[in-house]
Amino acid sequence: MRTFGFARAALLAVLTSISIATAAQATSRIKDLASFEGARQNQLIGYGLVVGLNGTGDTLNNIPFTKQSLQAMLERLGVNVRGQQMRTGNVAAVMVTANLPPFATQGTRIDVTVAALGDSKSLQGGVLLVTPLLGADGNVYSVAQGSVAIGGFEAEGEAAKIVRGVPTVGRISNGAIIEREIEFQFNRLNQVRLALRNPDFTTAKRIAAAINDYFGSAVAEPLDSATVQVSLSAKSDTNVVALLTEIEQLQVEPDLVARVIIDERSGVIVLGRDVRVSTVAVAQGNLTVSIAETPEVSQPAPFSAGRTVVVPRTSVDVQEDGKKLALVKEGVSLQELVDGLNALGLGPRDLISILQAIKAAGALQAEIEVM
């Protein structure tokens, strides 16, 4: 009961803060609402070997690709081990992933993530050998190597074992060097497109209007709910990067779709600021069934040649905790809606069911998204 009470209080505090922010008509920078098309990351991936493990590597007899990779690597170094038995447990096959930042130049370093591919128990203390990282086009854009740092650990004894975190996934800070650049002449563009992170027609129109007001001419137009096109030809004498810096600092009030987000696993409910309901009356009742077993021992009379037996005694109690009807008025604000639901004295789990029931009745003017 205390857990549900704390959850209701926390939910009310969060939604109250949202309502206060709404009343203040908060605005956001275009930089936080959209990104410039072309200024994006690219994903890289590679396959490599981690060595130096303390017996926690792959079992070579069970993981053939680790054995083949180890043999191929040693042969490139002039060591012939074909046909030989290898029993080392200090090597693990891993997948290496990284994100290539936009406009990254040769020689700069990026972080990489290393994840075990075979049956390795831990990558603690391991060192990643030289691993080329490829892009979607198959070209090598970076090369990774270095000591792996993990956030978990594993300890095992004769009769007990403990694992904290994920010891088979690690990270190498600045572990890869960029070898190839992605050519993109951003400063020579005549027009750029803004991609909205949360597509919305109203927000796109407001962004275009803010840009046009700033430049004093119709240089921006919304193409759809997710794209705003900005023409830079009229400002050809000005550096494009300088113009985009000015654009991304402009303040715009984003418009939001009325939506209710529900996470049934954790009982989290998030209501958007524009959520409205028609007039409804809500009641909720809990049915509690209690079953208690109190067996009794029956002793026979002395010298009766009887047996001691256990006589079952079962008591069943049924209670129905009914709640009074709570009236939620039409067109109320987010704060009033929260107050009306909290007046029922319910936990998050029950609130989820009530919101879904209100939506099924057609009285909730919002989308419900269950995570």
pLDDT-derived band at 305, boundaries 50, 70, 90: low
Per-residue model confidence (pLDDT) at position 110? 95
Mean pLDDT for the stretch of residues 119-134: 93
What sign for the dihedral angle of Cα 265, 271, 272, 278? positive
Cβ distance 208 to 222 under 8 Å? yes
pLDDT-derived band at 2, boundaries 50, 70, 90: very low
Does the pLDDT at position 43 exceed 80? yes
Per-residue model confidence (pLDDT) at position 5? 46
Mean pLDDT for the stretch of residues 302-327: 65
Mean pLDDT for the stretch of residues 340-358: 73
Per-residue model confidence (pLDDT) at position 19? 44
Q: Are strands 259-263 and 367-370 parallel, antiparallel or unpaired?
A: parallel
Return the amino acid letter for 308.
Answer: T
Per-residue model confidence (pLDDT) at position 281? 72
Average pLDDT, the chain: 80
Per-residue model confidence (pLDDT) at position 303? 67
Does the pLDDT at position 191 exceed 90? no
Per-residue model confidence (pLDDT) at position 332? 61
Mean pLDDT for the stretch of residues 321-341: 62
**Could you tell me the residue ranges of all domains in the chain?**
2-23+258-370, 28-38+185-252, 42-178
| Three-state SS annotation for the chain | CHHHHHHHHHHHHHHHHHHHHHHCCCCEEHHHHEEECCCCCEEEEEEEEEECCCCCCCCCCCCHHHHHHHHHHHHHCCCCCCCCCCCCCCEEEEEEEEEECCCCCCCCEEEEEEEECCCCCCCCCCEEEEEEEECCCCCEEEEEEEECEECCEEEECCCCEEEECCCCEEEEEEEEEECCCCCCCHHHCCEEEEEECCCCHHHHHHHHHHHHHHHCCCCEEEEECCEEEEECHHHCCCCHHHHHHHHHCCEECCCCCCEEEEECCCCEEEECCCCEECCEEECCEEEEEEEEECCEEECCCCCCCCCCEEECCEEEEEEEEECCCEEECCCCCHHHHHHHHHCCCCCHHHHHHHHHHHHHCCCEECEEEEC
Per-residue model confidence (pLDDT) at position 88? 85
Per-residue model confidence (pLDDT) at position 344? 64
Q: Per-residue pLDDT tens for 253-302?
A: 998 888 888 887 777 888 777 777 777 776 666 545 555 667 777 777 77
Q: Of the ranges 43-57, 107-121, 174-188, which one carries the lowest mean pLDDT score?
A: 174-188
* Alpha carbons within 13 A on the beta-carbon side of 274: 10
Using CA atoms, how far residue 286 sits from 71, 126, 181, 245, 350, in Å, is 66, 55, 63, 57, 10
Kindly state the percentage of the chain with pLDDT values over 70: 77
Per-residue model confidence (pLDDT) at position 143? 96
Per-residue model confidence (pLDDT) at position 213? 93
Per-residue model confidence (pLDDT) at position 362? 80
Mean pLDDT for the stretch of residues 125-141: 94
Per-residue model confidence (pLDDT) at position 316? 62
Terminal C-alpha separation, the chain: 25
List phi, psi (to 5°) of 242. -65, -40
Per-residue model confidence (pLDDT) at position 269? 81
Per-residue model confidence (pLDDT) at position 208? 94
List phi, psi (to 5°) of 73. -65, -45
The model carries a pTM of 0.65
Mean pLDDT for the stretch of residues 220-243: 84
Bigger pLDDT: 189 or 226?
A: 226
The two structure tokens encoding residue 322: 């009914």
Cβ distance 330 to 278 under 8 Å? yes
Mean pLDDT for the stretch of residues 159-165: 74
Does the pLDDT at position 46 exceed 60? yes
Among the four given CATH numbers 3.10.450, 1.10.357, 3.30.70, 3.30.1360, the one describing domain 28-38+185-252: 3.30.1360
Best-predicted range by mean pLDDT (11-25, 211-225, 283-297): 211-225
Per-residue model confidence (pLDDT) at position 304? 67
List phi, psi (to 5°) of 207. -65, -45
Bigger pLDDT: 365 or 131?
A: 131
